[in-house]
Chain A
Amino acid sequence: MTTSPSVEGTTDVPAQVFEKFLQALEGTGVSAELVARLRKTLLEDKTFTERALKEAVLAEEPLP
């Protein structure tokens, strides 16, 4: 997927960037769960706060 068209074919640039990022992440050995959590945060919930991102990135392991 190279673009993320929204209403009437307008280009949703953030969605386009997030999608490419998640694709790149999948190919690096990062856990599928982490990618799924980030996908939900960035593309479904569309929440971009540090707290939401932290939960997505570090969810399975609380900070020591």
Chain B
Amino acid sequence: MIRVESLTIREFRGVRDLTLDFKGKSFAICGPNGTGKSAVVDALEFVLTGNVSRLSGEGRGDISLKQHGPHVDRRSDPDKARVTVKVTIPSLNKTITIERSVKTPAAAHVTPNDPAVLQVLVQVQAHPEIVLSRRELIRYVLATPGERAEEVQALLHLDQVEQVRVGLQKIANSCEKQLPPIGTAVTLARENLLRALGIAELTKERMVAAANAQRAILGLPMLADLIESMSLKDGMATPGPAKPQLIPKTQALADIRAGREALAEITSVATTTRVAEVTADLTTLANDPAVAAGVKRETFYTTGMDLIEAGACPLCDTLWDLDALKKHVQTKIDRLKEASRRRIAAETKISPLIAGLRKVQAAINTVVGYAALATPPVAIEAARDYSTNCGTAVERLAAFMPLTETITVLPKLLIVPQAVFDAIGELEKAVDALPEPTKRDAAREWLTVAQERLEVWRETMRKEKAAKEQAQKARQVSDIYATTSDKVLAGIYAAVEKQFESIYSFVNRDDEDKFKAHLIPSMGKLGFDVDFYGRGFFPPGAYHSEGHQDSMGLSLYLALMRYLQGAAFTFAVLDDVLMSVDACHRREVCTLLKREFPNTQFIMTTHDPIWLRHMRTEGLIAERSAVQFRSWSVDHGPAQWDERDVWTEIDDHLKKNDVRAAAALLRYYLEYVSAELCHRLRAPVEFRGDAQYQLGELLPAAIKHMRELYSRAKGAANSWNQREIIEQLAAREEAFSMLAKTSNAEQWQVNVAVHFNSWDNLGKEDFEPVVKAFRGLLGGFTCSDCKEYLRVSLDRETPESLRCECGKTNINLRKKSA
């Protein structure tokens, strides 16, 4: 997508004013802890995406980009905190500038801002994973399968895939959840219809036969069939009898009997046994505080999830990103799987009780309806109240929580007040006392009630059919989505797995060239097992070293990025990754990045100067494509090792007669630069296992080797019979020896500590010549033109020339072949 040419940071995080010239190439930033490397990483992420992940997300508490993005002295003026980056877009062959201020992080000032450019920047913004820190890297490897899946999903933007999966599943679940009450309504309507028809089995033939028996009394034509558009009353004349009876006697008595049967069922031994079982289960749940709390929380979060419609918490109104809030709540729900399982088991047992109560309620309501029509009216309040209580109990049992209230409701279900039976008895007497209708009236009543109940049954059947079709369709869509997405993701993971194996075994080909790995996606999780030297597959943290784990993290990241961005993977920031990888394998990482990702610009930070050298020697970065931070101060931000700045700073200290500060800086700089000189000149230094080389070893070694190189160069020139060059080299050697002598450097190794500490006791006038001598000495190692330190150029480990970056100094070290 992009390559970064240069970066300018002003008043941002720990930086006051800093410009880094990447030139679109891989670049390294090296420095001890706390010197400002991470601020550069933050600045890059900020200017490219408008966010700093280190200052946002989970666990960041009160820290925010807006408040803590600006330099601490500019925290009240976020507009001054600005980052500017110049980038090239290879696909468009354009160079653009992007500027952001912390005051308005979402608003990037892009020049030029034509649509094609903006489209690329939108893509860049959508890929914050261009920045990889060790913290994230290790999450790919050591996290739990669920957390790893989240990390990888975030990288592959699978959150949308997951959101749709959850959404479709919820729709299917909610459609299926409607079916039981609709099913109960159908059963009740069917039973009511059967009672009205006076038959035991609801078949078309029996319905037609029963209806025709009544129609014959009325002299109506026989029904040959019964289809949806037909009525049992077809052809029946209206109005009915001159003195119509409000209560259909026969039907009412049948319904009253049905009411009694429903009451008998709810107080039966079977119901009593079920209530006892459910009560025991719920009591066990309620007595286990962890499970009870889990069930309670699961209920709370599930309810909360349903209430999330806008970007605010439905409980406290705190503003959230809508997706982030849903994800946050869903994570909590997912963690309560056991509670959810036990809740579902208990709800399954409660379900028949709810159905029984609904049946009683419907039967009693029918009876209550007759009571109002009786003359004089029958007092039926007790039955009405009982019906209301049944409705409340249904709601209570369906709600499930709080458990204590549900448990309290259960035993009450078994108790039907005597007043209910008494009221029903009274009504039955009243109905029984009604005069018998004529045969024709009875037939008319029969057909009217039967048709009403047939219509109710047909309607509930239609609703049930529609609900079943919806549920089936929603489940089908959800299942197909789950199957398809799993298949696609399995394909993606297989491709990434192959890439990962290839990348990791390249880096570790010395001992793991046949390395294999398994990425196993399952139910929103991502298992990750790796081969351990042919002994089987284990989690990465089981047997592999920390260094190998770092290497795996980087390999998996690179595999994912290659899959995701393909040829557009042109830029990545590796923030202090691979610190546990040994020197040998770091070289292989350098080779890997250089060879396998030749079109990707890597910006890398490290606190290890040795790692920086590996990057240089392996050609991952050019000699000048690095910056070394030596210190940091709140007033000035990071300070780089820049020769001109160092001498100016030392002079400033001396002007203030602060010899101690000048001496400390000179020694610190000499320590840094003498290591650099030994590296550049390939000077032999006595090996130290801890790599803690002293200035007293390094600088004399560099001086000695420089002389040897001049001597070698003279020998080479002599072999080519280059008299003039021999003379020039002799003059250079003589001048260099004078500089070394002046600095008296060769005596340092005698007693390093005493010698350097004694600088502190010097006065300004005493120390100025020391500074001058060392400045001169270091100048002897540089090109007179470009002022860069000279380096030995090798041809397959054989010194070929002593040269500088600009090419002005190029001294041959190879003798003419014999």
**A25 in the interface, Cβ–Cβ < 8 Å?**
yes
Whether A57 contacts B164 in the complex (CB less than 8 A), given A9-B568, A11-B564, A14-B157, comes out as no
A33 to B425, CA, bound (A): 57
Interface size on B (CB < 8 Å)? 49
**B704 in the interface, Cβ–Cβ < 8 Å?**
no
**A58 in the interface, Cβ–Cβ < 8 Å?**
yes
Contacts of A17 in B (CB 8 A): 161, 484-485, 488-489
**B168 in the interface, Cβ–Cβ < 8 Å?**
yes
* Contact call B564/A49, Cβ cutoff below 8 A: no
A4 to B167, CA, bound (A): 23
- Name A20's contact: one of B167, B487, B563 (CB within 8 Å): B487
Whether A10 contacts B489 in the complex (CB less than 8 A), given A17-B161, A57-B477, A64-B466, comes out as no
For window 3-31 of A, CB contacts with B under 8 Å fall at 6-14, 16-18, 20-21, 24-25, 28, 30
A63 to B176, CA, bound (A): 11
**B771 in the interface, Cβ–Cβ < 8 Å?**
no
**A45 in the interface, Cβ–Cβ < 8 Å?**
no
Whether A6 contacts B123 in the complex (CB less than 8 A), given A11-B563, A17-B485, A24-B484, comes out as yes
- Name B568's contact: one of A8, A18, A28 (CB within 8 Å): A8
For window 158-184 of B, CB contacts with A under 8 Å fall at 158, 160-161, 163-164, 167-168, 170-171, 175, 178, 182
* Contact call B1/A8, Cβ cutoff below 8 A: yes
* Contact call B160/A21, Cβ cutoff below 8 A: no
Contacts of B178 in A (CB 8 A): 63-64
* Contact call A21/B119, Cβ cutoff below 8 A: no
Chain-A contact segment, one of B440-448, B468-476, B810-818: B468-476
* Contact call A10/B565, Cβ cutoff below 8 A: yes
For window 458-506 of B, CB contacts with A under 8 Å fall at 462-464, 466-467, 469-470, 473-474, 476-477, 480-481, 483-485, 487-489, 492
* Contact call B485/A10, Cβ cutoff below 8 A: no
Whether A57 contacts B168 in the complex (CB less than 8 A), given A6-B123, A64-B178, comes out as yes
Chain A 22-64 interface 0/1 with B at a Cβ cutoff of 8 Å (1 = within) = 0011001010001000100010001011110110011001011
Once A and B bind, how many residue pairs between them come within 8 Å at the CB atom?
110
Contacts of B119 in A (CB 8 A): 7
Whether A53 contacts B167 in the complex (CB less than 8 A), given A14-B157, A21-B484, A64-B178, comes out as yes
Closest chain A residue to B463 by CB distance? Answer: A64
Contacts of A46 in B (CB 8 A): 160
Contacts of B476 in A (CB 8 A): 28, 30
Contacts of A50 in B (CB 8 A): 167, 170-171
For window 285-306 of B, CB contacts with A under 8 Å fall at none
Closest chain A residue to B489 by CB distance? Answer: A17
- Name A7's contact: one of B123, B167, B481, B489 (CB within 8 Å): B123
**B401 in the interface, Cβ–Cβ < 8 Å?**
no
Contacts of B474 in A (CB 8 A): 57-58
**B63 in the interface, Cβ–Cβ < 8 Å?**
no
Closest chain B residue to A11 by CB distance? Answer: B564
**B806 in the interface, Cβ–Cβ < 8 Å?**
no
A18 to B170, CA, bound (A): 18
A11 to B160, CA, bound (A): 14
* Contact call B171/A11, Cβ cutoff below 8 A: no
* Contact call B161/A14, Cβ cutoff below 8 A: yes
Closest chain B residue to A53 by CB distance? Answer: B167
**B120 in the interface, Cβ–Cβ < 8 Å?**
yes
Contacts of A13 in B (CB 8 A): 156-158, 161, 492, 564
Contacts of B158 in A (CB 8 A): 13-14
In this complex, the member of A9, A10, A12, A18 whose beta carbon has the largest number of chain B beta carbons within 10 angstroms is: A10
A36 to B489, CA, bound (A): 23
Whether A7 contacts B164 in the complex (CB less than 8 A), given A17-B489, A54-B171, A61-B466, comes out as no
CB distance from A60 to the nearest CB of B (A): 10
Closest chain A residue to B1 by CB distance? Answer: A8
Contacts of B157 in A (CB 8 A): 12-14
Contacts of A16 in B (CB 8 A): 488
* Contact call A48/B164, Cβ cutoff below 8 A: yes
Return 13 A-B CB contacts under 8 Å, by A number: A10-B123, A14-B157, A17-B161, A17-B484, A24-B484, A25-B480, A46-B160, A49-B322, A50-B167, A53-B171, A61-B469, A61-B470, A64-B466
Interface, chain A (partner B; CB < 8 A)? 6-14, 16-18, 20-21, 24-25, 28, 30, 34, 38, 42, 46, 48-51, 53-54, 57-58, 61, 63-64
Interface, chain B (partner A; CB < 8 A)? 1, 91, 119-120, 122-123, 127, 156-158, 160-161, 163-164, 167-168, 170-171, 175, 178, 182, 309, 322, 462-464, 466-467, 469-470, 473-474, 476-477, 480-481, 483-485, 487-489, 492, 563-568
Closest 6 CB pairs of A and B: A64-B463, A8-B568, A14-B160, A50-B167, A53-B167, A21-B484
Beyond the given A48-B160, A57-B168, could you list 7 further A-B residue pairs with CB under 8 A, ordered by the A residue number?
Answer: A7-B568, A10-B1, A11-B566, A25-B477, A50-B170, A54-B171, A64-B464
